[in-house]
């Protein structure tokens, strides 16, 4: 069941270690994923294509509020985690409270770190840790014009296109 894929950091670290023992490559990506859209799905599909297993670090509600402002997230962390865990591209979801997933990346030690190409490798949190451990950082092209913030703006304006 997809709910079994929602883990705390300690359980995720054990699972990642098991996967690595089995010779599987483990990828990691992270974000708020507030209102799931085609851009998110495309990013996750591209991320999963780079590895055998993909762990998604999900910003907690408090973390999203600090990053995106009041009124966010629209969907709470439990609902966001359930939706993401149901996707074929995602093997595990871990909610983190901090503003960045640095501690989670240190705990999981993924082989591959994936972010959208709206970042440069220098800006990707955890890039140095992963690269020093012999892993790699992959930047994925984003779908133009797709964002939760944009969707919320359209809803507030009463527009649907």
Q: What is the CATH number of the domain that holds 78?
A: 3.40.50.620
Residue 107 lies in a domain: yes
pLDDT: which is higher, 147 or 55: 55
pLDDT at 147 over 70: no
Q: Residue 142: its pLDDT value, please?
A: 73
Residue 33 lies in a domain: yes
d(CA 161, CA 149): 14
pLDDT at 145 over 90: no
Which whole number is the average pLDDT over 144-156? 65
Q: Residue 50: its pLDDT value, please?
A: 96
Residue 91 lies in a domain: yes
In the chain, the number of structural domains is 1
Q: Which residues contact 92 (CB under 8 A, 6 or more apart)?
A: 5, 6, 7, 12, 15, 53, 54, 55, 56, 85
Residue 122 lies in a domain: no
Residue 147 lies in a domain: no
For the whole model, what pTM was predicted? 0.89
Which whole number is the average pLDDT over 61-73? 93
pLDDT at 38 over 90: no
Summarize pLDDT for 83-101 with one digit per residue, the tens. Answer: 999 999 999 999 999 999 9
Pick the closest to residue 31 from 63, 69, 70, 79 (CA basis).
63
pLDDT at 75 over 70: yes
pLDDT at 148 over 90: no
Residue 90 domain boundaries: 2-115
Percent share of the chain, pLDDT over 90? 73
Residue 80 lies in a domain: yes
Residue 134 lies in a domain: no
Residue 154 lies in a domain: no
Q: What confidence tier does 39 reach under pLDDT thresholds 50, 70, 90?
A: confident
Contact 39, 143 (CB under 8 A): yes
Pick the closest to residue 77 from 8, 151, 15 (CA basis).
8
Summarize pLDDT for 6-35 with one digit per residue, the tens. Answer: 999 999 999 999 999 999 999 999 999 998
**Structure-token match 């990691």, residue found:** 28
What DSSP letter does each residue of 61-127 carry, written as one string?
HHHHHHHH-TT--SS-HHHHHHHHHTSTT-SEEEEE-SSSSHHHHHHH--SEEEEETTS-GGGSTTH
């Amino acid at each position: 069941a997809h709910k079994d894929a929602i883990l705390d950091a300690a359980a995720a670290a054990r699972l990642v270690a098991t996967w690595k023992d089995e010779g599987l490559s483990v990828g990691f990506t992270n974000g708020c994923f507030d209102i799931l859209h085609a851009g998110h799905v495309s990013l996750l599909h591209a991320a999963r294509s780079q590895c055998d297993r993909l762990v998604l670090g999900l910003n907690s509600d408090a973390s999203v509020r600090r990053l995106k402002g009041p009124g966010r997230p629209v969907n709470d962390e439990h609902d966001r985690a359930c939706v993401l865990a149901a996707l074929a591209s995602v093997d595990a979801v871990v909610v983190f409270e901090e503003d960045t997933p640095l501690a989670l990346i240190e705990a999981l030690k993924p082989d591959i770190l994936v972010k959208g190409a709206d970042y440069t490798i220098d800006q990707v949190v955890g890039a140095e840790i992963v690269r020093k451990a012999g892993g790699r950082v992959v930047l994925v092209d984003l779908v133009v014009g797709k964002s939760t913030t944009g969707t919320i703006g359209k809803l507030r304006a009463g527009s649907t296109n």
